[in-house]
Structure 1
Amino acid sequence: MFALSSGMPPAAIGVVRVSGPQAGAALEVLAGRLPPPRHASLAMLKDEMGAALDRALILWFPGPATSTGEDLAELHLHGGRAVVAAVEAMLGSLPGLRPAIAGEFTRRAFENGRIDLAEAEGLADLLAAETESQRVQALGIAGGHVSRAVAEWQERLLGLMAGAEAELNFADEDDVEVAEGVAQRLIAGMAGLSAELGEWLGRPAAEVIAEGLSVVIAGPPNAGKSTLINALAQRELAIVSPVAGTTRDVIETPLALDGIAMRFSDTAGLRAESADDIEMIGIDRARAAVEAADILLWLGRPKDVPGHPRAILIAAQADRWRGDAAAEADAAHCDLILSATTGEGMDKLHSHVVEMARTLLPREGEAALRQRQRIALAEAREWLTIEAGSREARDLILIAERLRLAGAALDRITGRAGVEDMLDALFGRFCIGK
């Protein structure tokens, strides 16, 4: 298979990659030779009639130590449309070669064991990253941060599985005390591993980073919510009007503050009653948005703030209420004073939101898990949890089955099965059958 792996032409350079058993033959046809492995070489590329296509750098990577696990060739062309099209047409005319489909290079890397499923997911996130936090998180996963943690858990789990199997198959069946001692050691190992999995499950989900934190602006009608989201977005996103109930639905805009992806939402003004049925629908949606928010920006009176673990109380429209004793008293109980019209307090709001957002993101060096990975990890933890004093805690067969099921759940994170690994651990460590 072959494909243009750089940006669409025209560009300074166009990189065409060829992967598979015919990669070397294709390079020989185009360049007339194979260069030394992993050394760039200048060559004139020609078509089947000997006409020049381009003067390019060629590289040859014999498999399996390549990004796809197969023979791999790269053609670094001049990035004009006609040049790239001519080389691709020549490759397509060669027997055994075809254009790659979307994601096929990465899929072959996974199928050939060059990367696992978690790393492939990290690579997909890296390609889609638009903010600094998304880039850092995706780079860690693509680089194997999650995979290395899973490999360590699997290694410990394999040791426990091997111990259980060895005791079941080769221990003296009449020695009950020995079996109980083995069960206790296995349960202790399972408990330690379960606690570590619980720590990972307590981290923020990767979707929070990829999709952006939800920041909801809420408060009573005419509190300045629409003016604030317009100021944040730096465009007329929401209609601003002195008429109460102008905002009827949740208006959302994506923003990035200090490299952190966020989704800011303007909501309908919250009040108990309305003569307008449509406005009441908007109020219900606003309440639902508040409940689902990662961060709440409350523009109402402090005493009316909805219960939320991460609410920032804002005394908005400061340009209007200066000198009002009641408003001044309320402002004293807020986190900041703000006027979206004059810009007062906007920098402080920025700092408050970013500081709170950082508490919801993984710390430096930590990796978050995608929903699919979290489900598998939670299942593994459930299988590793045995109630003390229960019948299962005294039954090696049930313990061994729980270990097997926990291992199968972990295998789903990386997409690799572990039956052969368990057998290797069993016979390699215990020297059974010598």
Structure 2
Amino acid sequence: MRAGTIFALSSGGLPSGVAVIRISGPDCRTAVAQLCGAVPPERRASLRSIRDRNGDVIDQGIVLFFPGPNSFSGEDCAELQIHGGRATVAAVLSALGVIDGLRPAEAGEFSRRAFLNGRMDLVEVEGLADLIAAETEMQRRLAGEQASGGLSRLYDSWAKRLTHARAMIEAELDFADEDDVPGSVAASIWSDMHALAQDILNHTDGARVGEIVRDGLKVVIAGPPNAGKSSLLNYLAQRDVAIVTDVPGTTRDVLHVDLDIGGYAVRLYDTAGLRETDDVVEREGIRRTRLSLQQADLVLLLSDDDVTDAADFLGNFSGPFLRIRSKSDIFGETLPDRAIDVMISTKSGDGVDDLIERIRAYLPTLEVGNALALPTRARHRDGLVTCREHILAALQNVSAGLDIQAEHLRLAAQALGRITGRVDVENLLDVIFSEFCIGK
């Protein structure tokens, strides 16, 4: 990480009613004194004139100073709350840029410093990034649980159990000959390791749910050309996302919209109609449709007739799908003999509410409390799987001796520590913090 004192606009797009500029680092106090004449009392909002190097007033705003280590970044930190005009913000940033020792922040650098200074762990940092990006209520709740340390506290409790187990093993190895150390001290911890392995397995089973809440349920609309796929996408999005014509093969690429259903994110994909064709561009669209099907959580198999064979369109997809008969305003609303889940019309809206309820049934059910302590990223899941594998190896390798078993528990703790950033995390930092905006 580059040294120095950093600054950035932290409050988002301009113009705005108020803009917040954040400063962090060893020269923070000096910078505030130069711009505002004096450093305001700690943690007290003060109305100050903000001046450039020549002493000309740029703006009046609220200034806050937070001394380290009790600040967001763990360093001396300040916030300038000014008027959010583009020229005003640019002038203040320019005034900061000419002060010795200050430089513009890199993406995620404030949060990275908070992590390196022990103010946040990696799971909390990722939760903060998700909280900023949250667009639905469940995304907000899940991200808030992580950002506030709920998931980290669970992992820390597991790390303490592993540490206790290793300590008991070391006691037996180092003091086996002492009269005041009973034999088989380590035996008392193996039942807890069995229980911990099961706890991790149960938790890992929720990884898919966490990913759906964070990234959205991926729903692909598939079927033959001119079945009404693009019309359905436009109807649910309440805007013209996809081009709709009577010409087969109009859709050549995979389009998507994000919906909010019951507080959950649902990402709906419109795809090219599946058929044999000599058109090179349409064939590429069909290839992309096949790829989308492989990544789908749910497929809406749309057709305007009752003879469409699911196998012809789903390919290798083995997940859940709904058979939907479209254009009920033209072909009638009587269910055919073949199994059809929903009849809809995007002209009249008939059946669309029923379809939404059918989709809602595939969303996870979460209650408040521990249900929101879910792994949400592939690296969380991978670390948990590795941790559990080493615990099982320790349990199964009794004949190898306590020292080998203790080593497996050490590796289990190390895998768990990588999730929160307690050990061996330098190679993760650039990837994680690159997701942040400049002011975070």
Q: What's 1:329 paired with?
A: 337
Please give the alpha-carbon distance, in whole angstroms, between the structure 1 residues aligned to 2:139 and 2:161.
Answer: 31
Identity of aligned residues (%): 43
Residue deviations 1:19-50 (CA, integer Å, cap 9, x gap) = 11221222222323232211112223334444
For structure 1, which segment, 82-91 or 62-71, has the greater mean C-alpha deviation from structure 2 after superposition? 82-91
Residue 125 of structure 1 deviates from its aligned partner by: 2.0
Equivalent runs, 1:158-173 vs 2, <5 Å: 158-172=163-177
Q: Once structures 1 and 2 are overlaid, which stretch shifts more, 46-55 or 299-308?
A: 299-308
The aligned counterpart of 1:145 is 150
Q: After TM superposition, give the deviation of residue 14 of structure 1 in Å.
A: 2.3
Which sections of structure 1, spanning at least 5 residues, go unmatched? 419-434
Paired residues of 1:59 and 1:73 also in contact (CA < 8 A): yes
- CA distance in 2 between partners of 1:130 and 1:225 (Å): 25
**What is the correspondence of 1:16-165 to structure 2 with a 5 Å cutoff?**
16-165=21-170
SS in structure 2 of the partner of residue 367 of structure 1:
coil
How far does residue 114 in structure 1 lie from its aligned partner after superposition?
0.4
Could you say if the C-alpha distance between residues 61 and 171 of structure 1 is closer, same or farther in structure 2, counting changes exceeding 3 Å?
same
Aligned residue runs from structure 1 range 148-297, under 5 A: 148-172=153-177, 178-179=183-184, 182-205=185-208, 206-220=210-224, 223-233=227-237, 234-235=239-240, 237-241=242-246, 243=248, 246=249, 251-258=254-261, 259-268=263-272, 274=276, 276=278, 286=289, 289-297=292-300
TM-aligned CA distance change 1:351 to 1:186, over 3 Å: same
TM-score (structure 2 length as normaliser): 0.81
- Say which SS state the counterpart of residue 383 (structure 1) adopts: helix
| Mapped pair 1:374 → 2:384 | no
Does the C-alpha gap of structure 1 residues 177 and 23 become closer, same or farther in structure 2, counting only changes over 3 Å? closer
Amino acid paired to 1:185: S
Question: Structure 1's 402 and 34: CA in aligned 2 closer, same or farther, altered over 3 A?
Answer: same
Q: Answer yes or no: is the 8 Å Cα contact 2:243–2:251 preserved in 1.
A: no
Contact map agreement 2:175 2:181 (CA 8 A) in 1: no
TM superposition shift of 1:267:
4.1
| Contact kept in structure 2, 1:187 and 1:386, CA below 8 Å | no
Comparing 148-157 and 254-263, the one that deviates more: 254-263
Shift of 1:276: 4.7
Change (3 A) 1:269 1:38: closer
Matched, 1:3 2:19: no
Secondary structure, in 3 states, of the residue corresponding to 2:203? helix
**Could you list the per-position Cα deviations for residues 292-325 of structure 1 after superposition, in whole angstroms to 9, with x for gaps in the alignment?**
321121335599445844322323322233387x
C-alpha displacement of 1:159: 0.9
Q: 1 CA distance for matches of 2:52 and 2:199?
A: 59
Q: Which has the higher contact order (CA 8 A, sep 6+)?
A: 2
Partner Cα distance (2:333, 2:11) in 1: 61
Alignment partner of 1:113: what SS?
coil
Query: Shift of residue 55 of structure 1?
Result: 2.4
Cα distance in structure 2, aligned partners of 1:250 and 1:185: 60
- Alpha carbons of 1:394 and 1:4: their partners in 2 closer, same or farther (altered >3 Å)? same
Q: Which residue is equivalent to 1:421?
A: none
TM-score by length of 1: 0.82
- Using the TM superposition, give the Cα deviation of residue 194 of structure 1 relative to its aligned residue in structure 2, in angstroms: 1.1
Instruction: Name which of 405, 411, 419 aligns with 2:417.
Output: 411
On the 8 A contact 1:215/1:296 being kept in 2, the answer is: yes
Q: Aligned AA for 2:111? A: T
Report the alpha carbon displacement of residue 343 of structure 1 after superposing the two structures with TM: 1.5
Query: Quick one: which amino acid aligns to residue 188 of structure 2?
Result: R
Alignment of 1:346-425 (within 5 A): 346-359=352-365, 365-386=372-393, 390-392=396-398, 395-417=401-423
**Using a 3 Å threshold, how does the CA distance of structure 1 residues 393 and 262 change in structure 2: closer, same or farther?**
farther
* CA-CA distance at 1:62 after TM superposition: 1.2
Residue of structure 1 in register with 2:301 after alignment: 298
Give the unaligned 5+ runs of structure 2. 1-5, 312-316, 425-440
CA distance in 1, matches of 2:147, 2:169: 34
1:323-380 Cα offsets, whole Å, 9 max, x none, are 87xx6333xx433221223211011111221232235999953433211111111100
Shift of 1:74: 1.9
Q: Does structure 2 conserve the Cα–Cα contact (< 8 Å) formed by 1:380 and 1:410?
A: yes
- Structure 2 distance, partners of 1:93, 1:268, is 54
Is the 8 Å Cα contact of residues 218 and 269 (structure 2) preserved in structure 1?
Answer: yes
Shift of 1:139: 2.2
State which structure, 1 or 2, has the greater radius of gyration over its C-alpha atoms: 1
Residue-pair matches, total = 407
> For 1:328, what is the secondary structure of its paired residue?
coil
The 8 Å contact of residues 390 and 408 in structure 2, kept in 1 or not, is answered as: yes
Q: Equivalents in 2 of 1:400, 1:351: separation in Å?
A: 51
1:314 and 2:324 matched: yes
Q: Which amino acid aligns with 1:373?
A: H
Question: Do the aligned partners of 1:250 and 1:265 also contact (CA within 8 Å) in 2?
Answer: no
Alpha-carbon distance, 1:176 to partner: 12
- 1:422 corresponds in structure 2 to none
Secondary structure at the counterpart of residue 164 of structure 2: helix
Query: Deviation per CA, 1:204-235, whole angstroms, max 9, x where unpaired?
Result: 44443443322122345554434333433442
| Structure 1 residue 281 displacement after superposition | 7.2
Q: Relative to structure 1, is the Cα distance of residues 280 and 398 closer, same or farther in structure 2, using a 3 angstrom cutoff?
A: same
Over 3 Å counting, the alpha-carbon distance change for 1:20 and 1:329 in structure 2 is same
* Distance in 2, Cα, partners of 1:69 & 1:376: 28
Cα distance change on mapping 1:321 and 1:64 into 2, 3 Å:
same
Indicate if the aligned counterparts of 2:393 and 2:408 stay in contact, CA closer than 8 A.
no
